[in-house]
Amino acid sequence: EGTHLGQLTKGTWVVTGLVGFCPATRSAIITSKEAGDLQQNIYRLDIPSGKRTLLDNGRGVHQARLSASGRYVLDTWQEPDVPRACAVTDTKTGKRVALATAADPWDGWYKPIFEQGTVKAADGVTDLYWRMVKPADFDPAKKYPTVVYVYGGPHAHNVEASWHWGSRSWETYMAQKGYILFILDNRGSENRGRDFEQVTFRHLGQEEMRDQMCGVRYLRSLPYVDSSRLGVHGWSYGGFMTVSLMTNYPDVFKVGVAGGPVIDWKWYEVMYGERYMDTPESNPQGYGQTSLIGKAGNLKGKLQIIIGMNDPTVVPQHALQFLNACAEAGTQPDFFAYPGEGHNMAGHKSVHLHERITQYFEDWLK
């Protein structure tokens, strides 16, 4: 009848998914962050009592598929040193049968060093998780150019307890070329609870920048990071963050590559922009504070902006208005557009894109 029957889970952790139900045991199968912020684990939740029973090994990032009866769950997962594994678990007894564990496809190869750690957020209290990728021949006595890869927006995260801490192939590629890569999940990103996510409400980018700069201060404290050769790169919300960091902290970053960047939230799609910023009429201060048009004159480092000319998500108006503001202010960003492409490049255009991003850092940061 629509009556609220009661809360089934409680705690300072996030339920990430409802997998399904097991009618025979009157239980629900869920995934959650209860075992750790960087993990995702599978639990049987007894509906009458609220008791939870772990159905996996307690490590890594797990995905679950439930049988039609609800009795068995197919568990596939990764850990920082496990590329992929799968098992079947009896949801009633908890008995697990291992099916397969993938061998490390990089075993025997010269490979980068993957590390994970924490740094305090700008609030001085909250732990933020980071991932670092170092060259395979890393020498702590040397100084390395370092690129901060950033997304930073709502409903996404980059650092997790999956293989290589969630590292992307481009990070490996850049490490092979002699760079250190640093990735930090700032406040406002997902899976850390309501307060963690909502701190950015009505002023997107501001708390995120403060947190990213906490990561930068940590990097500058490391003897092997060359503070005079710091770069930043991101796409979409990460592009917005890249331009924001380049124009709000112009003396920190030498080089930036911003893909599909939001420049002013009043031009972004309503269902997203107004969800996190309210309307321009009700939040003029927030929209004014976060717009990058008035900050075009602050640009000092080398900045390349890349867009798809048919981008329906972050329409070209964003980049073009920023370029116009730069022309008025006398600053000199670089610009490349992919005709006919949308918000992301596909096929050989994607290869070309990553070649272009990499070469920009090779030309101006290394």
Catalytic residue among 236, 264, 291, 318: 236
Q: What is the mean pLDDT of the chain?
A: 97
Among 101, 129, 145, the domain-final residue is: 101
Q: What CATH number has the domain bearing residue 143?
A: 3.40.50.1820
160 and 72 share one domain: no
139 and 35 share one domain: no
**Residue 157 bears catalytic tag:** no
Q: Looking at the predicted structure, is the pLDDT value of residue 2 above 90?
A: no
DSSP run (H or E) holding 196 = helix 194-198
- Number of structural domains (the chain) is 2
Catalytic residue among 46, 278, 343, 354: 343
62 and 175 share one domain: no
Strand order in the sheet with 225-235: 113-120, 127-134, 180-184, 144-149, 225-235, 255-259, 302-308, 334-338
State pLDDT tens for residues 294-322: 999 999 999 999 999 999 999 999 999 99
Q: Looking at the predicted structure, is the pLDDT value of residue 1 above 80?
A: no
- Give the separation between CA 360 and CA 185, rounded to whole angstroms: 24
**Residue 354 bears catalytic tag:** no
Q: Which domain holds residue 166?
A: 113-364
In 3D space, the residue among 310, 299, 294, 332 whose CA is nearest the CA of residue 260 turns out to be: 310
For residue 51, what pLDDT is reported?
96
For residue 223, what pLDDT is reported?
98
195 and 288 share one domain: yes
**Residue 363 bears catalytic tag:** no
For residue 5, what pLDDT is reported?
78
Strand partners, 17: 31
On whether residue 254 sits in a domain, the answer given is yes
- Return the percentage of the chain with pLDDT > 90, whole number: 98
- Give the separation between CA 123 and CA 185, rounded to whole angstroms: 14
Q: Looking at the predicted structure, is the pLDDT value of residue 331 above 90?
A: yes
What is the pLDDT averaged over residues 221-242?
A: 99
Catalytic residue among 56, 211, 264, 311: 311
272 and 198 share one domain: yes
What is the pLDDT averaged over residues 12-18?
A: 97
Q: Confidence band (pLDDT; 50, 70, 90) for 4?
A: confident
pTM of the model: 0.95
Question: Is the distance from CB of 146 to CB of 133 less than 8 angstroms?
Answer: no
Q: How far is CA 182 from CA 92, 97, 126, in A?
A: 42, 37, 19
What is the pLDDT averaged over residues 338-365?
A: 97
On whether residue 6 sits in a domain, the answer given is no
List b or e across 337-363, with b for residues whose CB sees 16 or more CB atoms inside 10 angstroms.
Answer: bbeebbbbbeeeeeeebeebbbebbee
Among 39, 73, 101, the domain-final residue is: 101
State pLDDT tens for residues 136-184: 999 999 999 999 999 999 999 999 999 999 999 999 999 999 999 999 9
- Return the percentage of the chain with pLDDT > 70, whole number: 100
Q: Looking at the predicted structure, is the pLDDT value of residue 3 above 90?
A: no
Q: Confidence band (pLDDT; 50, 70, 90) for 65?
A: very high
In 3D space, the residue among 287, 291, 187 whose CA is nearest the CA of residue 243 turns out to be: 291
Among 45, 69, 101, the domain-final residue is: 101
For residue 122, what pLDDT is reported?
98
On whether residue 1 sits in a domain, the answer given is no
167 and 288 share one domain: yes
Question: Is the distance from CB of 355 to CB of 363 less than 8 angstroms?
Answer: no
- Taking each continuous run of H as one helix and of E as one strand, the counts in the chain are 8, 16
